[in-house]
Amino acid sequence: MRVIQYVRNYFCIEMNPEPRTVFFLGKPGSGKGTQAKLLADHTGWTVLASGDQFRAIATEDTPAGRKTKEEMEKGMLSPHWFAMYIYLKSLFSVEGTQNVIFDGFNRKLPEAELIRDSLSWLGRPFEVVNIAVSDDEVAKRLASRSAVSGRADDHYVAKRLEEYNTFTTEALKLFEDMGVLIQINGEQTPEEVAADVVKALNLA
């Protein structure tokens, strides 16, 4: 598997001189994390997931850890400055020629603006893939997932959708105006969504 990934990485770099940077966005339960992993499997690219990093911090017995846990359990988005600390820490670990997938970053307008400015400063083009699903579909998926995963934030569907509609739609508008937003129908099977993502990114 490692050999296959190295070969894929080699050819991606050879055919695309500029490094690829892809962000996945979507409502809670849209499947953006799954799609980030499927794209990584297809390309061998690295995935950097904000949720994993926030959940790790939430396990720490520190003021920041306890506050993060409290907000996550209520379905609230983290303050934009905290999210951007996680983002910049992740971004600055990326090699110059490395293709990378960001999962769950840029959920608020200030975060989206910082992503635009930081990647412009680094000279890295980027694309944002939004996995679009309806609110009703979110409610169904999170009800099913909470029964299995036990994630506390999955019980706060209305709050999480309110946070998305209040903050993330502004970020999406910025990316749309920039011409870097790709809309994908998320109400398909994971395999069908993944095929649409690969096609939209010209990676088929």
Predicted TM-score (pTM) above 0.85: no
| Of 28 and 4, more confident | 28
Longest dimension (CA), the chain: 47
Average of per-residue pLDDT across 172-197: 97
Write the CB contacts of 149 (distance below 8 Å, at least 6 apart in sequence). none
Q: Mean pLDDT in the chain?
A: 85
Query: For 94-103, how does the pLDDT look when each residue is reduced to its tens digit (9 = 90+)?
Result: 998 999 999 9
Whose tokens are 């993060």? That residue is: 68
Which pLDDT score, from 0 to 100, does residue 68 have?
A: 82
Which pLDDT score, from 0 to 100, does residue 81 have?
A: 85
* Domains observed in the chain: 2-197 (3.40.50.300)
